[in-house]
Amino acid sequence: MIWSKRSILFPSVSADTRILWLLRIASGMAAGLVLLILFFLFAESLPLLWKVQTGRFITDTSWHPVEGAYNLAPMLSGTLYAAGGALFLATPLGIASALFVAYYASPRLGGIYLRLVELLAGIPSVVYGFWGLTTLVPLINELHPPGASLLAGILVLTLMILPTIALTAHAALRALPVEYLHSAAALGMSRWGIIRGVVLPAARMGITAGIILAAGRAIGETMAVLMVTGNVVQYASTVYDPIRTLAANIALEMPYALGDHRAALFVTGLALMLLVIALWSAAARIGRN
Amino acid sequence: MKLARLVIVVGTIIFGAGLGWSPMGNAATQKLVLTGASTIAPLAGEISRRFESRHPGTRIDVQAGGSSRGVSDLRKGTADIGMVSRDLKPEEKGLHAYAIALDGVGIIVNASNPVGMLHRWQLIDIYTGKIVNWKEVGGTNSPITVVHKAEGRSTLELFLGYLNLKNSQVKPHVVIGDNAQGIKTVAGNRNAIGYVSIGAAAYEAGRGTPIKLLPLDGVAATAVNVRIGTFPLSRPLNLVTRSVPEGLAREFIEFARSSEVHDLVEAQYFVPISIR
């Protein structure tokens, strides 16, 4: 951009104010969009929220919206189990592969590995779902029927969020000043000692950001999860039990829902949105400390 | 600002490709909107393609979204014709329904399952969780995986009506969305049982997918039995209008019921109506 170059030589107020307003409008639009979505979700759920006490969404006997039962709690637990399980598996794997690429692999091998991980990030989620449905679910079924289960959901989600964690962690490691490594090496620290004592604490913020990003994706992921988790509304007592997530609930029933059923699905969306907001604010608090 | 330029270029290409892909709508003088059952939508899409080629200047828009959506869009006036894959309910009797084909809902199990038939009460017990092992109905000693549909689908209403059950009584192990997902689930699980459109199941079985259709009340799940009306779980595929259809809507409905589209109906493994 030419005028930004000129403004360095001849600081002009007009160019700066212009770009300031441009940025203000852009960020205002992004923020307004989120508020609009929240407002829209709320407005669509309102007909049911008037009619049904809010507490019933977690105390009703079951989720049978056509018969007037609206319990969302099992799906909330399903969402948290699936996303939590995937994070539990993907976080150490992702950080480990980022460390491997950055500090252990030869540049050539590291490059190839990084390309592969990027490829993994680019695969559409429905492809993961299809693979899960035709390969993973029958495999788990041999182990413990019915196959479509929380475990299948966790494994598919792990594959999907692993690249996010690995790539952001790798970027965070790359961003570290080389002097840190050189000084630590000059102190005679071992490679693992440097990683544990210097690299990981210094790159903590970047890695955490990646994990939060991954958590958001795991909670919101719909198609792949819908195809492999069995979608039965219940609390899972083992990882072999089928579960339904909030996002899958919306995708599964929305095309056919009318009236209160439809409103109940918007309440599901609202619950999902609140869950994500809670996650982000918790993350922001952790980040500040 | 290489990045910004890259973003703009890539964005333009994708957007442009999208524009080029979608047909130019302005040329059409007459337009018809169909919404409703996802079972009918593919067939209606094929029929409207042929209709459009015979009537230049018309454009038919087909959107899937379930039978109930078809009825409600019709009432709101956002659709000209609704697609409803069941008989009209009593509260919908003011509407005009024109069947274009028949379809049956068949029980499917994996092809390796030795069980050859199930009685209605056995189905009820399986779906309510009283029978949980295939050996209780003459199969191998393995637990049954019950595949059920998501709430709101007309296949589910038809099936529950046949078994005289409420949805809350059913104890499923897997809940699926569309027919294709149901067929893949049963094909991938030797102990699964599910119910899907006979048309879709016969088509997949014909292409080598390891599933088989079970007879119902002793009647084989075939197109012939659906046509002669002996198969107990069958339904009409209806085109529905608010009032007696006129103009383009009438032409389209007549075309969809004529023998000119029988090959399209049969290609989807449905049963043409006018043969009856």
Q: Domain locations in chain A?
A: 58-288
Cβ-based interface (< 8 Å): residues of B facing A: 1, 38, 64-66, 68-69, 72, 142-143, 145, 150-153, 166-168, 172-177, 181, 184-185, 188-192
Residues of chain A scoring pLDDT < 50: 1
Q: Do B172 and A232 touch (CB under 8 A)?
A: yes
pLDDT in the model for residue B93: 80
Q: What digits encode the pLDDT tens for the residues B36-54?
A: 887 788 889 999 999 999 8
Within A52-136, residue ranges assigned H as helices are 56-59, 73-99, 107-122, 125-131
| B11: Cβ contacts below 8 Å, ≥ 6 apart | none
ipTM of this model?
A: 0.75
C-alpha–C-alpha distance, residues B137 and B134, integer Å? 6
Which residue in B has a C-alpha nearest to residue A230's C-alpha? B174
A255: nearest CB among B65, B189, B191? B65
pLDDT in the model for residue A85: 95
Average pLDDT score over chain A? 88
Pairing of strands B211-214, B96-110: antiparallel
C-alpha–C-alpha distance, residues B179 and B228, integer Å? 24
Q: Do A256 and B174 touch (CB under 8 A)?
A: no
Estimate the crossing angle of helix A73-99 against helix A259-288, to 10 degrees.
Answer: 40
B188: nearest CB among A66, A134, A232? A134
Please provide residue B231's backbone torsions phi and psi, each rounded to the nearest 5 degrees: -75, 125
Estimate the crossing angle of helix A204-220 against helix A259-288, to 10 degrees.
Answer: 170
Question: What does R_g of chain A's alpha carbons equal in angstroms?
Answer: 23
Q: Which residues of B touch A244 (CB under 8 A)?
A: 175
Q: Does A255 touch chain B (CB under 8 A)?
A: yes
Q: Does A231 touch chain B (CB under 8 A)?
A: yes
Q: Do B174 and A232 touch (CB under 8 A)?
A: yes
B151: nearest CB among A148, A226, A253? A253
SS3 state at B97: strand
- Which of A256, A258, A260, A262 to mutate to probe the B interface, most B CBs <10 Å? A256
Q: Closest Cα of chain B to A228: distance in Å? A: 9
B188: nearest CB among A64, A133, A231? A133
**Residue A267 near residue A261, CB atoms below 8 Å:** no
Q: Closest Cα of chain B to A220: distance in Å? A: 18
pLDDT in the model for residue A153: 94
Structure tokens at A108: 């050539």
B167: nearest CB among A67, A232, A257? A67
Q: Do A147 and B64 touch (CB under 8 A)?
A: no
pLDDT in the model for residue B276: 41
Model pTM? 0.79
SS3 percent helix, strand, coil of chain B, rounded to 5, is 45, 25, 35
* Residue type, position B41, single letter: A
Mean pLDDT of B228-252: 88
Mean pLDDT of B44-65: 89
pLDDT in the model for residue A94: 95
pLDDT in the model for residue B225: 87
DSSP state of A197: I
Q: Which residues of A touch B173 (CB under 8 A)?
A: 145-146, 148, 230, 232, 242
Distances (CA, A) of B87 to A163, B101, B221: 50, 12, 20
CA A79 to chain centre: 11
Structure confidence at residue B26 as a pLDDT band (50, 70, 90)? very low
Range A58-288 classified under CATH 3.30.565.10: no
B108 versus B229: the higher-pLDDT residue is: B108
Within A100-222, residue ranges assigned H as helices are 107-122, 125-131, 137-143, 150-174, 178-186, 191-194, 200-202, 204-220
Write out residues 112-141 of A within 8 Å (CB-CB) of B. Answer: 133-134, 137-138, 141
A242: nearest CB among B64, B174, B177? B174
Q: Does A65 touch chain B (CB under 8 A)?
A: yes
Q: Closest Cα of chain B to A238: distance in Å? A: 14
Q: Which residues of B touch A153 (CB under 8 A)?
A: none
Mean pLDDT of B236-262: 89
Average pLDDT score over chain B? 85
- H or E element at residue A275: helix A259-288
Which residue in A has a C-alpha nearest to residue B187's C-alpha? A134
